[in-house]
Amino acid sequence: MTWQSVARKDFRDAVRSRWLWVLTGLFVVVFAVPPIIAFVLDNGGNAGQNTNQYISLMEQGTAILIPLISIVIGYAAITRERESGTLKLMLSLPHSRDDVVLGKVLGRSGVVGISIVIGFVVAAVILLLTSLQFKVVDYILFALLTLLLGLVFVGLSVGISATAKTGRRAMIGAVTLYIAFLVFWSGLANLVASLLGRYAGIGIPGRVSTMLFIRLLNPVTAYKTLVNSLIYSSHIDARIVLFDGLIRTTVASVLGNSLPIYFSDAFVLIYLLFWLFIPVAIGYSIFRRAEL
């Protein structure tokens, strides 16, 4: 018995429990209803627009909903088996502990991934019925980035599930991290930059770079700025719009006309992938030594 067996069983259980169908229906609503309201019912008021308007419309919502839904799917992946006693049975088949962790990540990723893909396919059909210019490459890249965001939070939540002894603790840990990403992360970046300026004498360019770098380590922000790179004329603009108010002008002045490589899309993608692999590795490391 291998991780493939665990992944297949996990996926089949999702199908039998109707989770796959519920999730697919939810993503169809999330991705398809907004374009119906904004573009289909607009009675031809879309002249000169393209699917970048759809991407812009959806970006904020997907950045909030996709992580939350992925957490719901993944947070109890291992703790539920642990609390019910089936984990010991699973490990006696025999499965190794790495089979369990990897299989759970892949099984839950399959559930989330298929649902997201179907949602985007339905939305694409609707968009093709409108007068919007359909930019295939940008749309596919947006779909892939959204899929990656979902997989990142599945991996993150399964990693937390591997470390927790109960489903409640796993849920609290995953939701706390989710709230930190959405609410507190930018404030933390600003605080660190301010402290560097006050106690280390770091100038404005250094403080701005610090704020931007810390923000880009947030997987939700990394996703949003990569999506913005599809919409805006330059990657620099995609970074600048992460800031609000007067600080946006300061950031624009510091970045100028060139973007350091560690702020490039390629590096931001690496920062995002970090959250897919590292939490799973940490979770497995703790789970491997845990008393069951």
| Helices and strands per DSSP (H, E), number in the chain | 14, 0
Digitized pLDDT (tens) for each residue of the chain, 292 residues in all: 588 888 998 888 888 878 889 999 999 999 988 888 877 766 555 556 888 989 999 999 999 999 999 999 999 999 988 887 777 777 776 768 888 899 999 999 999 999 999 999 999 999 998 878 889 999 999 999 999 999 999 999 999 999 998 999 999 999 999 999 999 999 999 999 999 999 998 999 999 999 999 999 999 999 999 999 999 988 999 999 999 888 999 999 999 888 999 999 999 999 999 999 999 999 999 998 877 6
Within 10 A of 66 (CB to CB), how many other CB atoms are there? 24
First to last CA, the chain: 20
Instruction: Give phi and psi for 268, each to the nearest 5.
Output: -60, -40
Q: Judge whether 240 and 246 are in contact, CB under 8 Å.
A: no
Nearest-10 crossing angle of helices 136-163, 51-74: 20
Nearest one of 144, 143, 13, 32 to 73, comparing CA atoms: 13
CA atoms within 13 Å, Cβ hemisphere of 166: 3
* Cα 76 to Cα 164: distance, rounded to the nearest angstrom: 9
Q: Judge whether 32 and 119 are in contact, CB under 8 Å.
A: yes
Nearest one of 291, 279, 152, 163 to 222, comparing CA atoms: 152
Q: How far is CA 263 from CA 69, 166, 174, 256, in A?
A: 28, 38, 27, 13
β-sheet bridge partners, residue 135? none
